[in-house]
Amino acid sequence: MDIPGLTTDANGQTYCAWRTSAPQYPHYHDHEWGVPVADDVQLYEKICLEGFQAGMAWITILRKREQFRAAFEGFDFRRVAQYGEADIARLMQDVGIVRNRAKIVSTINNARRACELVDETGSLARWLWAFEPGEAERPARVDMAYWTGNPTSPASVRLSKALKKRGWTYVGPTTMYALMQAMGMVNDHLEGCACRPRIEQLRRQFKRP
């Protein structure tokens, strides 16, 4: 019986159906999406790339990810925070990335906000993980009905408001829910996906910062 949102590969393994929609997706789906992250630079990168995705398909960003990393010096937010108009002009000429001035400016702004947050609290990761939702906020079952009906969550709304209050941009509730999915704050692999149990185990073993 076909289950909405799932697909079965040649080996009989069942996965989230989006895994097969682009050549870049199997590795991303199996080894990155939902794996808990506690590194400040990696988390800043994820916030920025989710912001660049706004209004676009994620595969567009994933295809350009290495070019983004090169353009923004590995998303070292201490370095990006120093960018000025000359850097904006350089980035606007870089065909390897999404040349959207507002999103480029946002990436620089958010680097400065990340510096402030780390200087104040000691860790971007620790600050972000404090917004992890409790079990009571999570669905009893992660299926397509949940996916399609919940592009945000109460926790992503709280995170979005807190970041905006600190001056971050391109951090709306939908973008922040995508971040939470990507960084492993929630496990949104569908019930029946072969990766879901492994991701859940990684989340149990993960030491929160």
Q: Which of 18, 28, 146, 147 is catalytic?
A: 28
- Asked about 18 being catalytic, the answer comes back as no
Q: Which of 15, 33, 44, 58 is catalytic?
A: 58
- Asked about 25 being catalytic, the answer comes back as no
Which residues in the chain belong to E strands, given as ranges?
A: 6-8, 14-16
Distance of alpha carbon 114 from alpha carbon 171, whole angstroms: 13
- SS3 percent helix, strand, coil of the chain, rounded to 5, is 60, 5, 40
- Asked about 33 being catalytic, the answer comes back as no
Instruction: Return the biggest CA–CA distance within the chain.
Output: 57
Please say whether the dihedral angle defined by the alpha carbons of residues 184, 187, 190 and 195, taken in this order, is positive or negative: positive
Q: Which of 45, 50, 83, 168 is catalytic?
A: 50
Catalytic residues: 28, 50, 58
